[in-house]
Amino acid sequence: QVLLQESGPGLVKPSGTLSLTCAVSGDSISGRNWWSWVRQPPGQGLEWIGEISHDGSTNDNPSLKSRVTMSIDKSRNQFSLKLRSVTAADTAVYYCARVTLAGPPLDYWGQGTLVTVSS
């Protein structure tokens, strides 16, 4: 069974950097799948942030204006997200999820972690 678990600070100051990690079990992050981040502001819908492959290739949402950096750590079987210059509008539940190559997209999700941007 594939499990994903997000971790990171639940509170970030405005203009700071949001940093999250997603630990993966039951699948190798070095394989052919991609690994994605999705967020959901309170009471709102889902927004795709971006995704990263095993070789570090990335795609990200242009609406986030290049504030996003994603990375993978094969030794720990986890991947990470950094979002710079955060504002209150970045307050959301952040999910990590798996995208299978040529298969179901976003088929396994983490439980999500709430990140609040506030001073």
Partner 1 sequence: QSVLTQPPSASGTPGQRVIISCSGSSSNIGNNPINWYQQLPGTAPKLLIYNNNQRPSGVPDRFSVSKSGTSASLAISGLQSEDEADYYCAGWDDSRNGRVFGGGTKLTVL
- Which spans of this chain sit near partner 1 (rule: CB under 8 A)? 36, 38, 45-48, 50-51, 59-62, 95, 103-107, 109-112
> What is the closest distance, in whole angstroms, from the C-beta atom of residue 63 to partner 1 in the complex?
9
> What is the closest distance, in whole angstroms, from the C-beta atom of residue 33 to partner 1 in the complex?
14
**Cα separations (Å) of 27 from 13, 96, 99, 103?**
34, 14, 12, 15
Nearer to partner 1, 91 or 110 (CB): 110
Is the separation of the CB atoms in 94 and 9 below 8 Å?
no
Nearer to partner 1, 16 or 69 (CB): 69
> What is the closest distance, in whole angstroms, from the C-beta atom of residue 79 to partner 1 in the complex?
16
Please, which residues bridge with residue 68 across strands? 83
Is the separation of the CB atoms in 77 and 24 below 8 Å?
yes
